Structure 1
Amino acid sequence: MSRYIRPCLVASLILLAACAPTRPTVHREGDVVTMSQQAQREHDLADTSHWTLQGKLSVATDKDSGSGSLTWHQDGDRYDFTVRAPVTGRSFRLTGGPDGAELDGLEGGTRRGPDAETLMAQTVGWQIPMAELKRWVLGLRADTGPADIRFGDDKLPSQLVQDGWTVEYKAWDASRQPAMPSKVFAEKPPYKVRLAIESWQLGQ
């Protein structure tokens, strides 16, 4: 578990509920009204760069799997997220920003890299699109390239495909305005990630 939890840390960047029931995965092309609502959500959240989420994370490949609790704090361009293994209680922490990234909790001490993408590729072999992940976890399209977005019966995003990742929004906290994702699955073979978000704190 201690060896594999490292990819879990990476996966936590991905995203990806409160224990709300999973809604059926229904994908519909966005009509004018739905796309207008999504455009309004994206406008409302466009400047959201300070937030904290807490939840549970699981990640799997075709060879292994692992899980843990996650705390992800985003402070502008800086990030700080920690994954804690449920059995050992061991913590793995990734922090960084424009000046580089650090990964603590691995055997052999702190690892450093010029950015999270390079550091994760070097230590655990994951390719992490950090710029996109900060948007995807909010239920938004990233502005780094084309994206295909589809919606459920509730007119909230149910699927987002961008940069080779398929992100499934399985549940939303509609009690918030705007609504926020609460259960997110993401996949880019061979990686599969599930994130159950238990709390959002925007602006903190």
Structure 2
Amino acid sequence: MKFSRRILAVALPLLLAACVPQTVRVKGDAALLGQQQAREHQLADANHWTLQGQLGVSDGHGGGGSGSLTWTQDGDHYDFVVRAPITGKSLFRLSGGPDGALLEGMDGGPLHGSDAEELMQRAVGWHVPLHDLRAWVLGLRADSGPAELSFGADRLPSLLQQDGWTVDYRRWDAAHQPPLPKVVFAGKPPYSVRLSVESWQFN
């Protein structure tokens, strides 16, 4: 059960990791914030996509794990699948939508919940802001409350602080227009997670 919880924790906090300051980081002025608003407008209807990448997580107390992640977003429905990298056989899945959530791969069989956040709290004791993560993983501010942004030399978001979480965008994929996050750290102590995105696919 302890191993299961470690691997599951890798998959689902998604963007909650410790931040290390970058060489260049400036507060958003009117021009930078306007550019970010334009990005957010372009991606406002991006509700059908698949992200593939690698995750590593630490709970700040010597526990943690890593695995490969496939996150599919289909409107209000989501499907997170994480696989352990060594055997390639251990698989954990969180799926669902407005009608509820299903967690598979835990000891004791599948678990059902009214929503993903409630299910994660019950299963592993984490408060995971999944609604916000859906925006943060795209490099956007969530609609849940005020957010503070800082920008890097590339004029893209470098640091996002919202709802007590800190999201540190380390690298962007400029092959996409608008650009999308490539390497992300984020955190809310004691938890830290690193996400390295290998590919984005939009439907």
Give the TM-score, by structure 1 length.
0.92
Report what 1:42 is aligned to. Answer: 40
% of aligned pairs identical?
Answer: 58
Report the RMSD for the aligned CA atoms in angstroms: 1.5
Report what 1:154 is aligned to. Answer: 154
Report what 1:188 is aligned to. Answer: 188
1:125-164 matches, cutoff 5 A: 125-164=125-164
The 2-side partners of 1:170 and 1:25 are apart by 11
Secondary structure (helix, strand or coil) at the match of 1:81 reads strand
Report what 1:54 is aligned to. Answer: 52
The 1-side partners of 2:6 and 2:121 are apart by 14
Report what 1:106 is aligned to. Answer: 106
The 2-side partners of 1:98 and 1:195 are apart by 26
The 2-side partners of 1:113 and 1:127 are apart by 14
Give the TM-score, by structure 2 length.
0.92
State the aligned residue count.
196
Report what 2:64 is aligned to. Answer: 65
Query: Amino acid of the residue matched to residue 12 of structure 2?
Result: V
Displacement after TM superposition at 1:25 (Å): 4.9
> Structure 2: where are the runs of 5+ without partners?
none
Query: Amino acid of the residue matched to residue 144 of structure 1?
Result: S
> Runs of 4 or more off by more than 6 Å in structure 1?
none
Change in Cα spacing, 1:78 to 1:25, as seen in structure 2 (3 Å) is: farther
The 2-side partners of 1:69 and 1:186 are apart by 17
Query: Amino acid of the residue matched to residue 50 of structure 1?
Result: H
Displacement after TM superposition at 1:15 (Å): 7.5
